[in-house]
Amino acid sequence: MGKIMAGIRLGHQAGLATSLRVDPRVVLSSILLQFNTLELAAAVQQEVCENPALQLTGGDDFEPTEYDILRTLSPEQTSSKEWDYEYTRSMVESPTEVDWLDFAPSQASLEDYLSGQIKLKGRAKSLVLYVAASLDDRGYLRIGAEDIASSFGASMEQVEEAIRYLQRLRPAGIGARSVVECLLLQIQDDRSPEAEIARYCLQGGFDDFLNRSIRPIARKLSVTPDLVHSAFKLIEGLNPYPAAQFQRIERRSTQRPHPEIIFSREESGWQLEIRGIGPEQLSVDRKYQSEADQKGRGRGYYRKSVSRANRFIDAVQQRQETLRKIGRYLVEFQGGYLSTGDPKFLTDMTRTKMAQDLGLHESTVSRATQDKYVQLPSGELINFDTFFDASLRIKSLIAEILQYENPKNPLSDERISQLLAEKGVHVARRTVNKYRDSSKMLSSRRRKSA
């Protein structure tokens, strides 16, 4: 033993190591910031489904979350903590009920199937088809009626009527705006006692349904426990994925993009509307908060869920605040362009300068503006990139100068450069030539011969 120990040197070594820990709040805020309005809505829906402590607020009445419903009707779809929205057909199908949809070609798209059922004509049919094209892969309508009305150029009443028409088509539950509405649509024409109890459970008594509390419901509604049990079976037989059986297709790229910020000018001054779900529409479930606040072991799950919900709400709020800061900055420095939509009123601006003035990181401004749009008071939609494209103003001024030139004695690029300098825009003749060519404006020689 002594010989072995003799060959070993004992000692200690001190060292300094550094590691970089990324705050998950920063990561989440960055992810949500780069989402556009529609992507944000999808992210919120996914988070609500995955985290039962997070709720989309809709009043004081209990509103079951999609996660609550889907984990009950489709437990194998929500058994994983990382539930990934892989949707399948309903597990419960009646073998004795013949549905001619089963004989439809497997490669049929949902839009084709819906189009074949629409008996309307003209603009009314086009609006219903437009709404149908806005459905997600499950057959849910995640776009607000206001956005559809703005994009299609229809009134809110016309859009709501088109949605109601779509919701009467097959498969049952199509066009719903939530899982609850999807399930209610499937039993809207059922006047049986079981259906009435099922509607009660979905609209206000879902807690009792989740807990299989048959007797409390029976007492409240003065019905037999067997009837409540039959209502439970009816709910379990509904399909929360009405469009999953259809071929997944790419959405039409011709749809009008949705603005992140809407600018309007009133007597009181500029008004900004930040579109998309805001923090005021999200809340932490009171029951989960109460469980998280209690002391003792076994509360870790509730505390983590509540912490995750608060972190998500904070990220949504930070996204909204960042967009509002950028919107106010544009009002201050690009007010002329916002008012007129004329590129000649654009002022030189870069994302780096905006970030410095707002006290933000340049990457934050980039994420907030990349591939996003704003709406001018005129109703015109423009890409955020417009504000950072210095060439647009120069091209507009060149076009304006050429508009008033003498056609018998066209201006040379050198002379155009001099006239631009008189307007405070200093660019070389070579730059004028480049911008003129890219705008497909003819040279002075060709303008004279034309």
Over the range 406-442, which residues count as b (16 or more CB within 10 Å of their CB) and which as e? eeeebbebeebbebbeeeebebeeeebbebbeeeebe
Q: Own/partner pairs for 150-159, CB < 8 Å, 24+ apart?
A: 150/256, 151/255, 151/256, 151/258, 152/127, 154/127, 158/124, 158/127, 159/127, 159/131
What pLDDT was estimated at residue 439?
Answer: 56
The sign one gets for the Cα dihedral 99, 105, 111, 114 is: negative
| Sign of the alpha-carbon torsion through 382, 377, 281, 329 | positive
The per-residue pLDDT for range 152-171, each reduced to its tens digit, is 888 999 999 999 999 999 99
What is the structure's pLDDT at 100? 37
Alpha-carbon distance 405 to 399, whole Å? 10
Q: Where are the domains of the chain?
A: 390-449
Within a 13 Å sphere around the CA of 389, how many CA atoms are in the beta-carbon half? Answer: 14
> For position 193, what pLDDT does the model report?
93
pTM confidence score:
0.50
Enumerate long-range contacts of 93-97, CB under 8 Å, 24 or more apart.
94/237
- 260-263: long-range pairs with CB below 8 Å, 24+: 260/36, 260/37, 260/323, 260/372, 260/373, 260/374, 260/384, 261/323, 261/326, 261/327, 261/374, 261/375, 262/374, 262/375, 263/327, 263/330, 263/331, 263/338, 263/374, 263/375, 263/376, 263/377
**The pLDDT of residue 315:** 93
pLDDT of residue 59: 37
Can you give the pLDDT at residue 285?
Answer: 87
pLDDT tens per residue, range 7-23: 444 444 554 444 445 56
pLDDT tens across 183-233, in order? 999 999 999 999 999 998 888 766 677 667 788 888 888 999 899 989 988
Superfamily of domain 390-449: Homeodomain-like (1.10.10.60)
For residue 430, the model assigns a pLDDT of: 74
Q: Which residues of the chain have pLDDT under 50?
A: 1-12, 15-20, 58-64, 76-107, 249-255
